[in-house]
Amino acid sequence: MVKKSFRNIYTVLIFLFLYAPIIILIIYSFNESKSRGAFTGFTLKWYQDLFSNREVLKALSNTMIIAVVTTIVATTLGTLAAIGIHFSRKGPFKQMALNLNYLPILNPDVVIAVSLIALYRFMGLDFGLSTVLLSHITFCTPYVVLAVLPKLKQMNVHLAEAAMDLGAKPMYALRKVIIPEIMPGIVTGALLAFTLSVDDFAISFFTTGHGVQNLSILIFSMARRGINPVINALSTFMLIGFFILLLVINRIGRKEEEEIY
Amino acid sequence: MNKMKKIISASLIGASLFALSACGEKKETINVYNFGDYINFDVLEQFTEETGIEVNYDTYANNEDIYVKLKQGGSSYDVVFISDYTIERAINEDLIVPLDWNNIPNRDKIDPSFQDLVFDPENAYSAPYMWGTFGILYNKTMVNEPVTSWDILWDEKYKDEILMLNSQRDTIGVSLLRLGYSMNTRDIGELEEARDELIKQKPIVYAYLGDDIKDALIAEEAALGLVWSGDAMYMIDENPNLDYAIPQEGTNIWFDSMVIPKSVSNKTGAEKFINFMLRPDIAIQNVDYIGYSTPITEAVEMLPEEIRNSPIAYPSDEVLENTEIFRDPSDVLSVYDRIWTEITSSN
Amino acid sequence: MKKVAYPYVMWMVIFILVPLFLVVYFAFTTGDSKNYDTFTFSLDNFRRFLSPIYLEVMTRSLLLSVISTFICFILGYPIAYIIANKRSAKMRNNMILLFVIPMWMNFLLRTYAWLTILGKNGIINTFLNFLGFESLELLYNSGSVILGMVYNFLPFMVLPIYSVLVKMDRKLIEAAEDLGASRSTIFRRVIFPLSLPGVMTGFTMVFTPAVSTFIISNLLGGNKTTLIGNVIEQQFIYTGDWHFGSTMSIILMGIILLVMAITNKGGGDLEGGRGALW
């Protein structure tokens, strides 16, 4: 059918658009020259350098740890918050909670960063891993809330009531009825949180300390001198890693296929 | 779902164990903060081997970022590498402490003409690390005339082939030099004149770039661009069609030096580190990797002839006399900012 | 049920409200940014913002972000729809993950890669020249900035729309079919209106960063156009005038809230409840 091939072409085009820069990135990880301006030859030296580059590896592990922890906390906090807000009656509490939630989304990065610095100084905190985590959770959770809320709105309002009428305790209704219904929203929220955390620069830069650098900070700070292709090599590995993760999730997810539909 | 939960908890536990193990031993450490990709990591390892002091190494992108961090505090660093005008600012605002040169005997290794500079008289606070000049990088196949003046960047002939820097001081500085004024002028009239010239130039400028100017020029996306001498060496290496020139109106000479912030927790370690970096055999390793110019005389002597005698890396005294160092711009910053916004918003 | 939200609300008060007060405080005062004692109440910075140059910057930023958001919507909705309608859940999940994975690669690296693709001697032009065509000026103009914005924010439009589409009550669609509605009518009258909450979320998540971004315009626009994000960043990083920076942030926030409130009114009421923006 014409329609089907049109869909397929469109899909391919969009994915091509998304992956074009990534492909370039990978190609240049094999570039003999340090500069992006010229491809002078094929080499594996950047990959070799990668394994002995302590700075890069440390930044990678920091980035991952921060991202995973942030995602877990933000998703939990945000999902619960969205549920709580959804079930509140319309009124000042609901309004206030929702509007407060929007604030980090509306504020430019730099402003959030600077205001958090002021807060941490006021609280007398030592800048380091903990302050970065707090900051990440703060700016990621609103997106989780935003992702889960539409799903709650979409959910049949009487579902939870029905469960409780049948004798389920609120917590049970929550776990077994509501959460499965809004799962796509939760997953979307988690994906958003992870994405935002992994790539954040401004907020991380200003709220970190004591040698806790994430990849973004490392890469941005290389900007003055030109980005070392070791980073390209690293990105290629990360990409492979994510694809492997995808395959792993596929294996696990096979059981739950029927449940989602 | 259960399997997922197990994997998540396992990785969480793993991650926390990993994090905990990192805070295990208590060795002597120093926290060092530098520009990105601006050191040969081997020297850090060598330092730890020789002194037993561990180095926590952090990087940042530009002076303004580090200034905000120093000002706001919250994190203690023992040695920080910053540029000339930021040092002057830091001294004025009491953000760094004087060096105890008694603990840094390698002071005599520094070329005398780089001691006692205007931003830090008698080197009370800083030890120089790298230096260089600022000039025009041009493509010999695209520019058929000698490059002797900043005027060439205003030449209509090179429409869409000119790259300026996305840096307020450097670009406005070029315009000031071309008009015959000082790069450090505080005269609003002169600054506005420089602005008007830049607005006139804008239609022929291809772009105002940051570090990507290097890749663009190597890729021959433009014929002329503003670069620093150290980068010029690297770029010419990558593309022999390129060359570097310092215009006759004069230019900027810059220094990146090591200082000790007020929040230092290990001053003796910091001074040991600075002393270590001033050693010629260490300086040469850094120069090798970074490619910029070193202020350590013996290190220069160890360099291969074509670099030692390169007018780009080590220009003659005559050229150096016609250079200016950037001064602390604190009181005129808002003027610069307004002017810059006016330039970049103009059509 | 309501109680489960309390932990987060407390968190927000500490980490969002308090810092916000600080920003507001800075916005309505002037003085030496570093010394709290010198602060005096003043509306000077608001007046300063009302000069033509800053208003022009603000307008340009709004225009670019509106265009980018719109393009994200035009491109994003179809792909969200296509993925949501795949029969197998595994296929859907994989596609969505594949969609998001590029975003996990560093932003600066990806944007630099566009320079290689769009440059005068870049991939596209080399290809065009090979085919005998003239080179195009694809870089350092508004077009490349919009491309950069769309590229970076597309997933934020697609994800919320997808998550709403994927769990749409099939029975509603079946009912409409049974009643004889054509595919396009079903889409217009049933599917699209029901997906609006997701669309609104998508709009918010794209418009806001788009209007305050500055890195994309720096790298892909050659810094030839200053956006409001640039000016704000300059205040905090370069001039150290946190007061003026905060003033502009507050104004920016206000404008965003206004735009959001208008779009919400337009689209959100169908569900009988808005996402609340005042």
Contacts of B69 (CB under 8 A, 6+ apart): A206, B60, B75
**B207 shares its domain with B335:** yes
Q: Are C244 and C235 in contact (CB under 8 A)?
A: yes
Residue C277: predicted pLDDT: 39
Residue C278: predicted pLDDT: 33
Identity of the residue in B3, B7, B57 whose CB atom sits nearest the CB atom of A211: B57
Of these ranges, A254-258, B94-98, C20-24, the one predicted with the greatest mean pLDDT is B94-98
| Helices and strands in chain C, H and E counts | 14, 2
CA–CA separation, A30 vs A25, rounded Å? 9
Task: Give strand pairing partners of C123.
Answer: none
| B138: in domain | yes
Q: Are A223 and C55 in contact (CB under 8 A)?
A: no
How many other C-beta atoms can be found within 10 angstroms of the C-beta atom of residue A150?
29
Q: Are A170 and C1 in contact (CB under 8 A)?
A: yes
* Chains with 3 or more CB pairs under 8 A to chain C: A, B
Place of tokens 């991952």: A64
pLDDT above 50: residue A196:
yes
Residue C23: predicted pLDDT: 83
Which helix (H) or strand (E) is B58 found in, with range? strand B54-60
Beta strand B205-209 with B224-228 is unpaired
**B282 shares its domain with B303:** yes
CA–CA separation, B27 vs B41, rounded Å? 20
| C160: in domain | yes
| B13: in domain | no
From the number of C-beta atoms within 10 Å of its C-beta (0-12, 13-18, 19+), residue A123 rates as: exposed
Residue A261: predicted pLDDT: 46
Closest A-chain CA to B78: A210
Average pLDDT score, chain B = 88
Are B3 and A252 an interchain contact pair (Cβ–Cβ within 8 Å)?
A: yes
DSSP B309: T
Q: Roughly how many angstroms between the first and final C-alpha of chain C, as a whole number?
A: 23
**B73 shares its domain with B167:** no
DSSP A44: -
State the residue range of the domain holding B61: 27-131+254-316
Comparison of pLDDT for B15 and C234, the residue scoring more? C234
**B36 shares its domain with B163:** no
**B305 shares its domain with B266:** yes
- Residue B135: phi, psi to the nearest 5? -165, -165
Helix (H, G, I), strand (E, B) or coil at B33: strand
pTM check: above 0.90: no
Average pLDDT score, chain A = 84
| B332: in domain | yes
| B22: in domain | no
Helix (H, G, I), strand (E, B) or coil at B134: strand
| B15: in domain | no
DSSP B312: T
* Chains with 3 or more CB pairs under 8 A to chain B: A, C
pLDDT above 70: residue B228:
yes
CA–CA separation, A2 vs A12, rounded Å? 15
ipTM summary value: 0.84
Chain C contact for A68 (CB, 8 A cutoff): no
Beta strand B54-60 with B29-35 is parallel
Q: What is the CATH number of the domain that holds B245?
A: 3.40.190.10
Distance, C-alpha C219 to centroid of its chain: 18
Task: Give strand pairing partners of B253.
Answer: B133
**B73 shares its domain with B183:** no
Are A110 and C5 an interchain contact pair (Cβ–Cβ within 8 Å)?
A: no
How many other C-beta atoms can be found within 10 angstroms of the C-beta atom of residue C87?
8
Identity of the residue in A35, A126, A211 whose CB atom sits nearest the CB atom of B238: A35
Chain A contact for B75 (CB, 8 A cutoff): yes
Spell out the domain ranges in chain A.
61-223
Distance, C-alpha A253 to centroid of its chain: 20
Give, in words, the CATH class of A61-223: mainly alpha
Identity of the residue in A35, A121, A224 whose CB atom sits nearest the CB atom of B36: A224
Domain tally, chain C:
1
Q: What is the mean pLDDT of residues B272-290?
A: 93
How many other C-beta atoms can be found within 10 angstroms of the C-beta atom of residue C48?
16
**B223 shares its domain with B292:** no
Q: What is the mean pLDDT of residues B131-140?
A: 94
Q: What is the mean pLDDT of each run of 10 residues along chain C (278 residues)?
A: 78 87 85 67 83 89 94 95 87 89 88 90 88 87 92 91 83 84 84 86 87 85 86 82 86 83 58 39
pLDDT above 90: residue B153:
yes
Q: What is the mean pLDDT of residues A113-135?
A: 84
- Give the burial string for B42-55 (b: 16+ CB within 10 Å, else e): ebbebbbeeeebbb
Q: What is the CATH number of the domain that holds C217?
A: 1.10.3720.10
pLDDT above 60: residue A170:
yes
Q: Are A186 and A148 in contact (CB under 8 A)?
A: yes
Residue (of C14, C7, C44, C10) closest to C246 by Cα position: C44
pLDDT above 90: residue B284:
yes
CA–CA separation, B119 vs A253, rounded Å? 63
CA–CA separation, C226 vs C229, rounded Å? 8
Angle at B261 between CA B260 and CA B266, to 5 degrees: 65
**B238 shares its domain with B328:** yes
Identity of the residue in A143, A188, A232 whose CB atom sits nearest the CB atom of C163: A188
Q: What is the mean pLDDT of residues B308-326?
A: 89
Measured between beta carbons, which residues in chain A are less than 8 angstroms from residue C9?
A: 81, 97, 100
Least confident range of A38-47, B103-112, B168-177: A38-47
| B98: in domain | yes
Residue C266: predicted pLDDT: 55
State the residue range of the domain holding C102: 53-230
Residue C276: predicted pLDDT: 42
Place of tokens 């008007």: B196
pLDDT above 70: residue B24:
no
**B112 shares its domain with B189:** no
Are A227 and C155 an interchain contact pair (Cβ–Cβ within 8 Å)?
A: no
Distance from CA of A89 to the nearest CA of B (A): 32
**B174 shares its domain with B123:** no
Confidence of residue B14 (pLDDT cuts 50, 70, 90): low
Are B290 and A225 an interchain contact pair (Cβ–Cβ within 8 Å)?
A: yes
Are B211 and A223 an interchain contact pair (Cβ–Cβ within 8 Å)?
A: yes
Confidence of residue B180 (pLDDT cuts 50, 70, 90): very high
Count of CB pairs separated by less than 8 Å, A with B: 123
| B3: in domain | no
Confidence of residue B11 (pLDDT cuts 50, 70, 90): low
pLDDT above 90: residue B285:
yes
CA–CA separation, A104 vs A114, rounded Å? 12
Contacts of A193 (CB under 8 A, 6+ apart): A70, A71, A74, A75, A78, A140, A141, A143, A144
| C25: in domain | no
**B271 shares its domain with B175:** no
Give the residue from A31, A33, A34, A35 with the most B CB atoms within 10 Å of its CB, the best one to mutate.
A35
**B85 shares its domain with B114:** yes
Comparison of pLDDT for B8 and B220, the residue scoring more? B220
